[in-house]
Amino acid sequence: MKHLESIEEFEQLRDNGKTIFMFSAVWCGDCRFIEPVLPEIEAKFTEYTFIHIDRDQFIDLCQQVDVFGIPSFIAYENGKELGRFVSKDRKTKEEIEGFITGLKS
């Protein structure tokens, strides 16, 4: 999963195409728990670009998009928010895939 480098990159990715942003942090145990399954999820949903956002590096962006718990996911298509899976709870592969599948309908 590619790591976000700048706010400008976030805006570009958000506004062009289908992107899912995963908000995480190095110290987050629940984030580490789902890391092993993320490549499988990315491979299954190739219509989306997946971008990792380090919460500590982009705290202002997290506040701007109302992400206060991690791991969290927000999906956009051409600037429009499709949905969000935002909470402080641990997430399973099945829950993440269910969230993404629900975006399609």
- What is the C-alpha to C-alpha distance for residues 36 and 56, in angstroms, rounded to an integer? 21
Among the options 31, 41, 53, 96, which is catalytic?
31
For residue 8, which phi and psi values (nearest 5 degrees)?
-60, -40
Which residues in 9-30 are b (16+ Cβ under 10 Å) and which e?
ebeebbeeebbbbbbbbeebeb
Q: Is 31 a catalytic residue?
A: yes
Q: Is 28 a catalytic residue?
A: yes
3: helix, strand or coil: strand
Among the options 4, 22, 28, 65, which is catalytic?
28
Residues annotated as catalytic are 28, 31
